[in-house]
Amino acid sequence: MEVDYVWGTSSANVPVQKLEQHFRENFSSLQPEYYVKVPGRVNLIGEHVDYCGYSVFPMAIDQCIVVAAKRTTDRQTIELTNLCTERYENVSKNISDISAESLGKNPSWSNYFLCGVKGAREYLNDSQLKAVEKVGFLFAVTGNIPESSGLSSSSALVTAAVMATLVGYGVQISRLELAEISAKCERYIGTAGGGMDQAIAVNAKQGYAARIDFNPLAVKQFRLPADAKFVVAQSLAVKNKAASNDFNTRVVECRLASQIIAKKLNLEWEQMTALAKLQKSLDHSLDQMIELVHQHLHIDGYSKSEVCEILSVSEDRLDELSLTANTTEVTEFHLHRRALHVFEEAKRMEEFCRLCETSGAASDLGRLMDDSHSSLRYLYQCSHPDLEELVALCKLEGAYGCKLTGAGWGGCVVVMVPSDGAEGFVRSIRDQYYSNRETCGKRIDELVFATSPSEGACCVHVKPTSISDKITDQLPALVHL
């Protein structure tokens, strides 16, 4: 059976036919019932602000995760395999044995997927759980989103797992709910993200970028300049967010900045866990919040004991109220820099949206991207020497704007370039940046490529099934046929 056509030409590099063959080879010649596709993303502006409650402006890319799936009724077990067998082991897991404790101890590829299964089941009510109590799954996974590159491969994997599980259970769910569930359950792996990756992966529209708002989650689509195209380039420096505390330390620093400002303003500081929440409570403008940062946070780092003294709490209480499990041993927090970046980046995001609405020049949008990267480098300190080399090269080659995308500390840059020069730009970066670097066997078209805003998550049902009267054959409302 040929199913490549269901993804369209933009995902032609995803080996769906090979995935089906792999599925058959691993699961007794059985055929998948349905396929789920979830794209990666780049963020054009609004970096490291989503977990602070501020809006972001990402777009989905062509690269994606694809899951082939089939339900079983003999036992409540997940059988999981990856097309890349030389790197990823097969996993068999009883669904009832999937626990938050076990997931957080090992940030393996399979545990990211199992996070999604657990999150999907937590969405079910008691009657739904009873209806599927004997249902298990066969899952095979592949994808072409470069790992640890800032393109949201891990979030796409988690989201694909949530969606594949709910589709198999026949559970109706909205796209916004799916995004929120996926963001929540990824935290079982230990990453305290804010929800941008999941929101755009599920809600993206071909040809558009989207403004994602939080609390409540909302999505607004924006067309981008017709004379601009986007290029993604890998720095070849990789970072596993879940395997270090750098990302969560930034989350915690923003939280502490909010709480200390609140404390100094005699607010209920324990409740001020996000900078946006603090701003809303004060009913201040972003400019006023920037002024508060300068007034109440000193530029030098804060020791943990100093934070405790300001908040009048013990270290154990601070661990409980404000820190994550892997940041309790952090000895210094840079609160002024982090909060300043967040408020200034939120301002840049608002200006980016305004320019898009008024058909602003690509050069003006690019300037905001450049300013964002400078802030990420100097205030948020999440860049990398290889990223800086790549950014400098892109600017020399005539980019409108260039910035790191994703968590940072390596990964990718996203570049806005003139549409008529995109192919030449890609060739130039390929020849100058990658010619003397070890690419770890990756193809050059995986390392630097032009991309356009892609469609969000979708599902294709291969054939009807009648495995159980208790499971509806109707696909959820989010599915595109």
- Cα-based distances in Å from 345 to 50, 56, 150, 339, 452: 11, 9, 18, 10, 24
| Options 50, 62, 197, 371, the catalytic residue | 197
Q: How many CB atoms lie within 10 A of CB 421?
A: 14
Distance in angstroms (rounded) separating the CA atoms of residues 462 and 260: 55
Q: Distance between alpha carbon 328 and the CA centroid of its chain, in Å? A: 24
Q: Is 300 in the active site?
A: no
> What phi-psi label fits residue 48: left (phi over 0), alpha (psi between -120 and 50 degrees) or beta?
left
Check if the beta carbon of residue 229 is closer than 8 Å to that of residue 422. yes
Three-class secondary structure of residue 388 per DSSP: helix
The count of C-alpha atoms lying within 13 angstroms of the C-alpha of 111, restricted to the half-sphere facing its C-beta, is 17
- Dist CA 259 CA 103 (whole Å): 30
What is the distance between the alpha carbons of residues 166 and 132, in angstroms, rounded to a whole number? 11
Tokens of 126: 């008691």
Q: Which of 401, 358, 452, 375 is nearest to 46 (CA)?
A: 375
Q: Name the residue among 123, 90, 202 with its Cα closest to residue 156.
A: 202
**Dihedral of the CA atoms 477, 452, 201, 242 (nearest 10)?**
160
| Active-site amino acid positions | 197
